[in-house]
Amino acid sequence: MSVLSLTPKALYEQVAEQLRQRIFRRELQPGGWIDELKIAEELGISRTPLREALKVLAAEGLVTMKVRRGAYVTEMSDKDLRDVYHLLALLESDAAAVVAARATPAQLQELETLHAELTAATYDRERFFALNERFHMRLLELADNRWRGQLVADLRKVMKLNRHNSLLKQGRIQESLAEHDTLMAALRARDAAGTAHAMQVHFTNGLEAAG
């Protein structure tokens, strides 16, 4: 039994992060019931912070609360997946266009560095996945719209619920990297429209691979 110690971050937020990672690792399966008593005992906490944590995850879309039945890990339908990718494509292509037009040379170099790390990680799926997300989130930060950034962060959490992640498809990592190459070329050229289009294509192909 591992007891969580109280840090400056509220206990329920620590519990939410623990559960979030369990969901992403598929220790808690999509569609599965969340056994509150068992988890509270495992974490050495009362059910109060656990229930607060579940509310956080429900607001993010990772957990679905059912009346008189408790909490379940959200299960994505094909339509859910299409809708999430559609919104991500809109939001991230818009952000990419902003970065192409406004980023400083130092900021573009940050993206170049991340892209180089991504290129070197094609044979390590977990590292590639983490670097890919870091690249996308850094681009959002550089676009400097916190509301868009928050929406994307939440949508990306929900996207991880998909049982068939796009990067698991044979050859998809190489395809994704080629799409990032195109995106970086447009960013270097300060081509806002071209950058937005490259990001749209990236998500269109990602959805096809994830389906």
User: Over the stretch 122-135, which tens digit does the pLDDT of each residue have?
Assistant: 989 889 999 999 99
61-81 burial, b at 16+ Cβ within 10 Å, e below that, comes to bbbbeeeeeebbbbebeeebb
In a shared domain, residues 34 and 85: no
Which pTM value belongs to this model? Answer: 0.83
In a shared domain, residues 64 and 105: no
Compute φ and ψ for 8, nearest 5 degrees.
Answer: -55, -30
In a shared domain, residues 157 and 134: yes
Of 30, 48, 73, at which residue does a domain stop? 73
User: Over the stretch 159-178, which tens digit does the pLDDT of each residue have?
Assistant: 888 865 666 677 899 999 99
Q: What CATH number is attached to the domain comprising 17?
A: 1.10.10.10
Of 73, 88, 118, at which residue does a domain stop? 73
One DSSP character per residue, 183-206 reads: HHHHHHTT-HHHHHHHHHHHHHHH
In terms of residue numbers, what domain contains 89?
Answer: 78-210
Into how many domains does the chain fold?
A: 2
User: Over the stretch 70-117, which tens digit does the pLDDT of each residue have?
Assistant: 999 999 999 999 999 999 999 999 999 999 999 999 999 999 999 999
